């Protein structure tokens, strides 16, 4: 059963080495992520699943020990799911969203429970995401989720997806739902609108909704902002 969840944004810029001179602009988001991971640790889960968007066509599982890298951003920095550095447990490398999750866990020294990663593709239908969440919640008596994903990328003229007037209302509702642990609102997110607004978190958030279906959890919104025109949300469920 799901006992806790942390929702965090997944831009590689969250990693100071990648952000370089702009690192301080995301200090508040990083601090909120650290607080969110503290909620996961306090829940004492038997298993932690890191869920995030991937470029695969469906769902991909990444076992503990799988490696990731930020070399594609010109930074000589490697991470591992379950600890920083080391060799991958498999041939595939973590997608960037899960690599950011691994980095967050590594900087907080996570060692409380076995870890695995789950990459979910942006086009994945809502019901499939919810089914994946149900399956995750049934894997152990006490399951925690670290859910990686961004809101819209269309908040300003300089945003990656340019300005879309629908972006701010979408992000506001997503932040409200995540901050209130509103499972039904997450289930009802508009998949097509999320795609148009370049929302990478829609599928991971709906995995969370499926995992929390039979749990009684309270939500808290720790951070909401749109640096660089992209919506970033940090929330906890416990």
Sorted by where each begins, the domain ranges of the chain are 2-237
The DSSP call for residue 1 is: -
Supply the pTM of this predicted model: 0.95
The answer to whether 190 and 227 are in contact (CB under 8 A) is no
* Beta strand 2-8 pairing with 232-237: antiparallel
- Per-chain mean pLDDT for the chain: 94
The encoded tokens of residue 53 equal: 């968007």
Over residues 141-151, mean pLDDT: 98
| pLDDT of amino acid 144 | 97
| pLDDT of amino acid 41 | 94
Q: Is 14 a residue whose pLDDT tops 90?
A: yes
The encoded tokens of residue 223 equal: 């951070």
Residue 68 DSSP SS3: strand
Residue 53 DSSP SS3: strand
Over residues 176-198, mean pLDDT: 98
| pLDDT of amino acid 21 | 79
* HEC per residue, 183-217: HHHHHCCCHHHHHHCCCCCHHHHHHHHHHCCCCCC
Between residues 57 and 136, the one the model is more confident about: 136
Percent of the chain with pLDDT over 70: 96
| pLDDT of amino acid 85 | 44
Over residues 88-107, mean pLDDT: 86
In tens, the pLDDT along 17-73 reads 998 877 788 999 999 999 999 999 999 999 999 999 998 879 999 999 999 999 999
Cα angle: 136, vertex 91, 55; to 5 degrees: 60
The answer to whether 203 and 132 are in contact (CB under 8 A) is no
Taking alpha carbons only, the member of 170, 221, 222, 180 closest to residue 200 is 170
Phi/psi of residue 61, nearest 5 degrees: -100, 135
Query: For the domain 2-237, what is the CATH code?
Result: 3.40.830.10
Cβ neighbours, 10 Å, residue 142: 15
| pLDDT of amino acid 111 | 76
In tens, the pLDDT along 190-234 reads 999 999 999 999 999 999 999 999 999 999 999 999 999 999 999
| pLDDT of amino acid 83 | 57
| pLDDT of amino acid 12 | 96
Strand ranges, E, within the chain: 2-8, 47-54, 59-62, 67-69, 78-80, 115-121, 143-148, 219-225, 232-237
- Report how far residue 10's alpha carbon sits from residue 149's, in angstroms, rounded to the nearest whole number: 5
Between residues 92 and 121, the one the model is more confident about: 121
Taking alpha carbons only, the member of 12, 39, 22, 70 closest to residue 234 is 39
């Amino acid at each position: 059963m799901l006992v806790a969840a942390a929702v965090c944004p997944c831009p590689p810029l969250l990693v100071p080495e990648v952000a370089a001179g702009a690192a301080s602009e995301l200090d508040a988001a990083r601090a909120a992520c650290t607080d969110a991971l503290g909620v996961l640790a306090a829940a004492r889960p038997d298993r932690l699943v890191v869920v995030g968007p991937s470029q695969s066509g469906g769902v991909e599982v990444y076992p503990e020990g799988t490696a990731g890298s930020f070399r594609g951003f010109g930074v000589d920095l490697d991470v591992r799911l379950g600890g920083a550095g080391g060799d991958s447990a498999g041939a595939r490398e973590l997608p960037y969203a899960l690599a950011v999750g691994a980095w967050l866990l590594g900087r907080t020294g996570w060692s409380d429970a076995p870890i695995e990663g789950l990459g979910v593709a942006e086009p994945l239908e809502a019901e499939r995401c919810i089914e994946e969440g149900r399956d995750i919640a049934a894997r152990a008596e006490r399951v925690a989720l670290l859910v990686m994903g961004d809101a819209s990328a269309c908040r300003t003229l300089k945003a990656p997806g340019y300005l879309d007037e629908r972006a701010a209302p979408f992000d506001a509702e997503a932040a409200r739902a995540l901050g209130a642990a509103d499972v039904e609102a997450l289930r009802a997110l508009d998949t097509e609108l999320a795609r148009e607004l370049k929302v990478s978190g829609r599928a991971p958030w709906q995995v969370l909704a499926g995992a929390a279906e039979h749990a009684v959890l309270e939500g808290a919104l720790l951070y909401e902002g749109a640096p660089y025109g992209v919506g970033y949300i940090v929330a906890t469920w416990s």
